[in-house]
């Protein structure tokens, strides 16, 4: 896919025919220097923005053909999001935040049980009824992970999920994502500028000059960068 | 997203922004309060004037003759009216103007063109409350005494009860008729809407002086149920089809005096509605702030699947909550003021006491109007909220 921001002289070609595919259950990192288009790419995959040219297939569905309402439902059912900052609705409690995707897409009888279980597996069973603005950054990312998983999405997308955390907490969150991915056979696509902290992963996509280079090891220049 | 959940989110977001909530509610409240206060004061003043004109001068129905004086006998007309159960009393009145001389401390004081009202002392007390305004002395009345309006008394160098005066009235043939009277009492009404600028005398004496035996200028009819005025009036006109009577309800007979006031009230109401409009603008501003403050939250909700419609409805719900609380608080405050004004018989600078009524129709209408305005005011901010792109929202820290 290609993404061009702006018009005329102010045009920025953030992605230039970047092409790749990711299999079910893969744990994938997207790396690249700052401003290389990592977030842009993730936003396209997450259907938060549309490519200027090209297509995004998820579960074999051509998402570029969907209208706004269908895209919303698609995001709700098939995608989970973890962002760098303040992912949560601060007016809601921890538990309510995890339940939010179910509230949006339609709840079922087991929603609350599912949410409690997920919060337990990310280690927050004691914080269920705390308001989301009363917990630490690391805890907030755990809540975001639980929320991202509650609808059993096809893929969880994370844009620098540890970018705002200290290195110890950051390590814990990375391990949590990896273990959840393994346990649930859950596809993760994670934008990061510190891929070395992730250890072994299934795939690393490097964005350079708007293009996507696939591999399963870090390239020389990234280790230096 | 279910309606209940949208409402729950709307409430949460709003109640966690106490400052904005209070500001927006206050805007609605003040808008309503202004309308209530305006209504109490200006409609209260208007109704008080109508009340006093009715009580002191025109009754609920005023009967006059199309061309001239009424020549039906007092007895015939009064009996006709008093047979009707809604009628409390009916009494003849006759008006003229006089020249009055009075000697005070050896000095002669002369007043010209003083309005004179002739009343039937027995019938008048049933149809008018003019007799209740006696400040000194007694109301009439034998044929040799008069009651002075407070303003006439002071124009005559502070005339006192028991003093005597000379009155000149020109009769129907152009002849001067002069008589001497004793001051029996002085009347003074709050706000001066009573007979404060007139001289009150026995109607038969005035008839005599005007050479109009058995004639009356008008008949004032007081009802114990004023809402029946139109009915009684029509009934009367139908009963006397050939007598050239004019019968008017108080609204009709006082129209000339009230026309200006009426348009004044319309103006003031208009100002009140402008006030409400500015409340609506305040709500737009406050809600725009709320929406801007929730940019990130809206982005989060959108990115995890909330539809534009969900966002729209959440913010319209906020408008409804603001409108409902504002309408409730505003109406309560307005009613509080209204009750206070009514119970304390509020008046301004010792003037006419306001006639305060609960106009439920208007109270409910005002509450509904401001509720509706709050919702309309929330439409634009809500629409703006739906236009936030999830990706834009995510960019804000
Ligand atoms: N909304 C936008 N409008 C214009 N340019 C943008 C926009 N978003 C990103 N860009 C530009 O696109 C390029 C890629 O940005 P981004 O995807 O955020 O990079 P990364 O996440 O890799 O740091 C940058 O040059 C950035 O300035
Ligand atoms: Mg980025």
Structural domain boundaries of chain A? 3-88+153-222
Q: What is the pLDDT of residue A149?
A: 94
* Contacts A99 to B, Cβ<8 Å: none
Per-residue model confidence (pLDDT) at position B171: 94
Residue ranges in chain B modelled with pLDDT below 50: none
The pLDDT assigned to A86 comes to 67
Closest-CA residue in chain A for B12? A91
Q: Which pLDDT band, with edges at 50, 70 and 90, does A87 fall under? A: confident
Judging contacts by C-beta atoms under 8 Å, the chain B residues touching residue A81 are: 303-304
Residue pLDDT, tens place only, B323-372: 999 999 999 999 999 999 999 988 876 678 899 999 999 999 999 999 99
Average pLDDT, chain A: 89
| Per-residue pLDDT tens digits for A112-132 | 999 999 999 999 999 999 999
Q: For atom 25 of ligand 1, which residue has the closest CA?
A: A35
CATH number of this structure's domain A3-88+153-222:
3.40.50.300
Instruction: Give pLDDT, residue A136.
Output: 92
- Residues counted in chain A: 225
Give the ligand at the shortest distance from the Cα of A37: 1
> How far does the CA of residue A189 sit from the closest CA of chain B (Å)?
16
DSSP string, B222-257: EESSGGGHHHHHHHHHHH-TTS-EEEEEHHHHTHHH
Ligand 1 atom having least distance to the Cα of A10: 4
pLDDT at position A224 is 42
Ligand 1 binding pocket mutation candidate from A4, A13, A14, A38 (most atoms within 8 A of CB):
A14
Confidence (pTM): 0.82
Average pLDDT (A186-191) is 95
Question: What mean pLDDT do residues A204-212 have?
Answer: 90
CB contact under 8 A, A75 and B9: no
The ipTM estimated for the assembled molecules is: 0.91
Which of helix, strand or coil describes residue B305? coil
- Cβ proximity of B358 and B298 under 8 Å: no
- pLDDT at residue A20 tops 60: yes
Write down the pLDDT at residue B396: 57
Question: Quick check: B294 and B17 in contact, CB under 8 A?
Answer: no
φ, ψ of residue B17 in degrees (nearest 5): -115, 65
Burial of B306-324, coded b for 16+ CB within 10 Å and e otherwise, reads bbbebbbbbbbbbbbbbbb
| B213 compared with A218, residue with greater pLDDT | B213
Q: In the prediction, which pLDDT does B337 show?
A: 95
Q: Does A137 touch chain B (CB under 8 A)?
A: no
A216 vs A90, residue with greater confidence: A90
d(CA B3, CA B8): 8
- Please, what sign has the CA dihedral across residues B188, B192, B195, B198? positive
| List of residues 6+ apart from B276 with CB closer than 8 A | B31, B32, B34, B35, B369, B370, B373
Find the CB nearest B390 among A48, A104, A159: A48
Q: pLDDT tens, A131-175?
A: 999 999 999 999 999 999 999 999 999 999 998 889 999 999 999
Q: What is the pLDDT of residues B215-254, one digit of tens each?
A: 999 999 999 999 999 999 999 999 999 889 999 999 999 8
What whole-number percentage of chain A has pLDDT above 70? 95
Whether chain A has a CB inside 8 Å of the CB on B389: the answer is yes
Distance CA A202, CA B127 (A): 102
Q: Which residue lies with its CA nearest to atom 7 of ligand 1?
A: A5
Residue A223 confidence (pLDDT): 46
**How far apart are the C-alpha atoms of B277 and B256, rounded to whole Å?**
33
Using pLDDT thresholds of 50, 70 and 90, give the confidence band for residue A225.
very low
- Identify the nearest ligand to the CA of A40 by its number: 1
Closest C-alpha to ligand 1, atom 18? A39
Return the closest-CA partner of residue B371 out of B287, B280, B297: B280
């Amino acid at each position: 896919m290609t993404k061009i921001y702006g018009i005329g002289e102010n045009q920025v070609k953030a992605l230039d025919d970047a092409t790749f595919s990711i299999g079910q259950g893969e744990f994938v990192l997207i790396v690249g220097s700052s401003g290389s288009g990592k977030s842009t790419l993730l936003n396209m995959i997450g259907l938060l923005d549309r490519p200027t040219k090209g297509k995004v297939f998820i579960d074999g569905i051509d998402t570029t053909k969907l209208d706004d309402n269908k895209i919303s439902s698609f995001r709700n059912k098939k995608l989970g999001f973890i962002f760098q900052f303040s992912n949560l609705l601060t007016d809601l409690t921890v538990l309510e935040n995890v339940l939010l995707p179910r509230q949006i897409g339609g709840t079922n009888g087991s929603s609350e049980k599912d949410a409690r279980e997920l919060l337990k597996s990310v280690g927050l069973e004691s914080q269920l009824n705390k308001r989301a603005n009363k917990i630490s950054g690391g805890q907030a990312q755990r809540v975001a992970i639980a929320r991202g998983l509650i609808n059993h999405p096809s893929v969880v997308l994370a844009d620098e999920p540890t970018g705002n955390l200290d290195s110890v907490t950051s390590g814990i969150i990375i391990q949590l994502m990896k273990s959840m991915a393994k346990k649930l056979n859950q596809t993760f696509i994670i934008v990061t500028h510190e891929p070395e902290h992730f250890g072994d992963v299934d795939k690393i996509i490097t964005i350079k000059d708007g293009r996507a280079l696939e591999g399963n090891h870090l390239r020389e220049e990234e280790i230096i960068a | 997203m279910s309606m209940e959940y949208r409402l729950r989110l709307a409430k949460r977001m709003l109640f966690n922004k106490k400052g904005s909530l209070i500001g927006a509610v206050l805007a609605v409240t003040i808008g309503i309060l202004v309308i209530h206060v305006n209504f109490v004061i200006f409609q209260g003043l208007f109704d008080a004037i109508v009340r006093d004109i009715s009580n002191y001068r025109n009754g609920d129905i005023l009967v006059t003759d199309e061309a001239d004086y009424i020549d039906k006998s007092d007895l015939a007309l009064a009996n006709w009216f008093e047979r009707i159960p809604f009628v409390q009393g009916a009494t003849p009145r006759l008006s003229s103007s006089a020249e009055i001389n009075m000697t005070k401390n050896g000095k002669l004081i002369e007043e010209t063109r003083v309005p004179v009202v002739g009343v039937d002392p027995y019938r008048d007390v049933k149809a008018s409350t003019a007799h209740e305004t006696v400040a000194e002395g007694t109301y009439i009345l034998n044929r040799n005494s008069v009651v002075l309006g407070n303003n006439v008394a002071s124009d005559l160098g502070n005339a006192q009860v028991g003093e005597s005066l000379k009155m000149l009235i020109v009769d129907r043939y152009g002849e001067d008729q002069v008589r001497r009277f004793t001051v029996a009492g002085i009347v003074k009404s709050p706000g001066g809407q009573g007979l404060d600028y007139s001289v009150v005398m026995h109607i038969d004496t005035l008839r005599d002086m005007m050479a109009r035996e058995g004639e009356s200028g008008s008949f004032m009819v007081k009802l114990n149920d004023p809402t029946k005025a139109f009915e009684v009036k029509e009934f009367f006109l139908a009963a006397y089809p050939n007598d050239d009577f004019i019968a008017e309800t108080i609204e009709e007979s006082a129209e000339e005096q009230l026309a200006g006031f009426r348009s004044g009230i319309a103006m003031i109401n208009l100002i009140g509605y402008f006030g409400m409009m500015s409340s609506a603008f305040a709500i737009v501003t406050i809600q725009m702030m709320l929406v801007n403050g929730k940019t990130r939250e809206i982005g989060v909700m959108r990115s995890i699947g909330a539809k534009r419609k969900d966002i729209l409805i959440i913010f319209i719900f906020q408008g409804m909550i603001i409108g409902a609380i504002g309408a409730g608080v505003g109406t309560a405050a307005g009613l509080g003021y209204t009750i206070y004004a009514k119970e304390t018989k509020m008046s301004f600078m010792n003037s006419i006491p306001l006639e305060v009524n609960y106009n439920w129709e208007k109270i409910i209408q005002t509450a509904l109007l401001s509720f509706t305005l709050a919702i309309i005011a929330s439409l634009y901010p809500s629409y703006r909220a739906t236009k936030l792109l999830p990706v834009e929202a995510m960019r804000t820290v």
